[in-house]
Amino acid sequence: MRRMLAASTLAAFGVRSYPEDMTTISRQGTMTTTATPEQLAAHFEARLHAETDASDVYAAMKAGERFVLVDVRSAEAWAQGRARGAVHMHYSEIEDRAPREIPLETPVVVYCWSPGCNAAQKAALIFARLGYRVREMIGGFEYWAREGYPVEDDSGRVEFPKDPTVGVVKS
C-alpha cells in the first residue's frame, strides 16, 4: 500500500517512472536509495507544493500575504488555544462551510494538533477536492506554539515559552 501511495503521488506530479525495488530500502537497512536524483527531486518538489511550516506561515502573515489559516481541530481544542489570526472550521464541516465562507481564489493553509495528527491532511484533501489551492502547515499547532508564534484562546493572548529544541531562542 505504501508503495502504491508513493507511486500515485509521484504520478500526480508528472513522474512517470518509479523504481521497482523501492521495497528493498527497508530490508537493506541502509541510507542508500534506489530512487534517481530526478525522482527524489520530484518527490521533494511535490511536498513543497503541498506543505509549509509555522515559520513560513508567520512570515507570510507579517508580510501581509492574502490567505486563510484554518484550524481544523475540535471546538474544545480551538477554545484551549490557536494560532492568532486563524479561523476555526473542523474538518468535518469544510465541505459545507468553506464554499460559503472562503472565496475559491483565496489560498488556504490548514493545521491540526501536531505531527501525530492527520486531521490537517483530511482537511487539505477536502479543500483540494473543492477546488482550493491548499497547503498543510506541518507540525500543526504544537510547532506554532513551541516556536513562539502568537497564540490566543477565548480569553486573549496566551504566552508559551519558546522551545530551544525547535528553533533558535534569543535572549
Per residue in 117-143, pLDDT tens? Answer: 999 999 999 999 999 999 999 999 999
Residue 29, domain member (yes or no): no
Instruction: Using the predicted structure, report yes or no on whether residue 48 has a pLDDT greater than 60.
Output: yes
- Say whether pLDDT at 66 is over 90: yes
The pTM is what? 0.80
130, part of any domain: yes
Tell whether the model's pLDDT for residue 5 goes beyond 70: no
In a domain, 46, yes or no: no
Q: How many structural domains compose the chain?
A: 1
User: Is 16 inside a domain boundary?
Assistant: no
CATH code of the domain covering residue 110: 3.40.250.10
> Residue 4: which pLDDT band, with cuts at 50, 70 and 90?
very low
Decide if 14 is inside a domain: no
Residue 21 inside a domain? The answer is: no
Strand 51-53 to 82-83 pairing: unpaired
Mean of all residue pLDDT scores within the chain: 86
Instruction: Please give the residue that has the higher pLDDT: either 17 or 49.
Output: 49
Residue range(s) defining the domain that contains residue 125: 51-158
The answer to whether residue 35 sits within a structural domain is no
Give me the sign of the Cα torsion angle 87, 132, 147, 117.
positive
CA angle 158, 159, 160 (to 5 degrees): 120
Residue 149 covered by a domain: yes
**pLDDT, average across residues 152-166:** 84
Query: Residue 30 carries which side chain, given as an amino acid letter?
Result: T
pLDDT confidence bin for 74, thresholds 50/70/90: very high
Answer yes or no: 112 catalytic: yes
Catalytic residue among 10, 42, 61, 112: 112
